[in-house]
Amino acid sequence: MLEDTIVEEDIHPVYVSEGVTDTGRVRTANQDAFVQMGTHGVWAVADGMGGYRDGDVASRMVCEGLQSLDSATSLEATIDGIRQRMTEVNAKLHQASIREHDPIVSGSTVAVFVVQRTACAVVWAGDSRVYRLRHKRLTQLTTDHTWASELNLQQPNEEADHAITRAVGGEDTLLLDVRRDRVRLGDRYLLCSDGLTRELTDVQIAELMSGEDVQQCAKALIDATLQAGARDNVTVVVIEAT
C-alpha cells in the first residue's frame, strides 16, 4: 500500500527527466518506445509484445496516441484523456488482428506517469513498470499484468513470468489500471520496460537510481542492463521532482 503524503498546497515542483532506449544484446530490432511530455506532465514507456508481428508499430502507435493529448487543467482530465487515446489505439490494433485479409496481431504494454503539481498517478497495462525512489527507498507503484503475478506464483517459470495478460491491442476491450499518489520534493520516478527488470534486482535499481542526476541514473541503468546480458530491448525514463 502506498503511504499517505501530505504536501503543502503552495509547492510547485519542477520536473526534469531523461529517457533512453537500447535494442540490447540479443534482439535485432527495438520494439520499445517512450514519451517525454514535461509541459503536459506526462511520461510513458511502451513495449511492443515480443514475438508478435509489428510490435514496434504497436508501441509507436501507443506513444503517438499519448503525444496527441490536449493540455488538461486537472489530473483527472489527463487520466481521462489517456484512457480515451489508449482505447482508440486498442480498437485500431484489435481491428487489424481480426480482419480477413492479412491480419496483423500486435500489441504493446503501456506505463504512464502523469502529474499535476504534486498530485500524480500511474496508468498502465502489461508488465512495464513505474517505480518511486524516496529517501533511498524504492517502491513499485504498478503490478505486473502477467500470469505469474496474477496467479501469485512464488517461483514462476520463464514462460509464465513473461506471459502478458493485459496489453493495448490484446483484447477488444482495454482495461487500464490507475493508481493515484502525491509527490514530495526530491522524489525520483522510473518508468521501464521489462528488459530492465529481467536483468536487474530492485536493490540494484535503487542503487543506480540514487545517482547524481536523472541523466546519470538513466545511463547507469542502461549500462548495467547491457552488462547483465540485455536479453531484451530495454527502455528507461527517469523523472525527478525538484
Q: Is 133's pLDDT higher than 80?
A: yes
CA-closest candidate to residue 145, choices 122, 124, 114 = 124
What is the structure's pLDDT at 1? 45
Quote the cell numbers at residue 223.
549500462
What value does the mean pLDDT take over residues 135-164? 78
Task: Output the domain CATH number for residue 80.
Answer: 3.60.40.10
Phi, psi at 112, each rounded to 5°: -120, 135
Position 7 in a domain: no
Q: What is the pLDDT of residue 5?
A: 47
| Long-range CB contacts (within 8 A, 24+) of 64-67 | 65/89, 66/35, 66/37, 66/42, 66/112, 67/35, 67/37
Strand ranges across the sheet with 129-134: 15-22, 234-241, 188-192, 129-134, 137-140
pLDDT at res. 152: 65
- Kindly state whether residue 4 falls inside one of the protein's structural domains: no
Is the pLDDT assigned to residue 153 strictly greater than 50? yes
Mean pLDDT to the nearest integer, 164-193: 96
Query: Does 204 or 152 have the greater pLDDT score?
Result: 204
Residue 5 lies in a domain: no
Q: Using CA atoms, how far apart are residues 218 and 205, in angstroms rounded to an integer?
A: 10
Would residue 3 count as lying in a domain? no
pLDDT-wise least confident of 33-47, 72-86, 127-141, 143-157: 143-157
Angle between helix axes 75-98 and 55-67 (nearest 10 degrees) is 150
| Domain assignment present for 6 | no
What mean pLDDT is predicted for residues 52-68?
90
State the pLDDT at residue 111: 98
Instruction: Decide which of 98 and 27 is more confident.
Output: 27
| pTM of the model as a whole | 0.91
Check if the beta carbon of residue 143 is closer than 8 Å to that of residue 149.
yes
Mean pLDDT of 109-119: 97
* pLDDT-wise least confident of 3-17, 64-78, 111-125: 3-17
Domain assignment of residue 10, yes or no: no
Q: Tell me, yes or no, whether 202 lies in a domain.
A: yes
pLDDT value of residue 6: 47
Asked, for residue 1, whether it belongs to a domain, the answer is no
Give pLDDT, residue 147.
86
Residue 129 belongs to domain spanning: 15-241
Least confidently predicted of 116-120, 152-156, 235-239: 152-156
How many structural domains comprise the chain?
1
Q: Which pLDDT belongs to residue 204?
A: 98
Q: Which grid coordinates belong to 134? A: 524516496
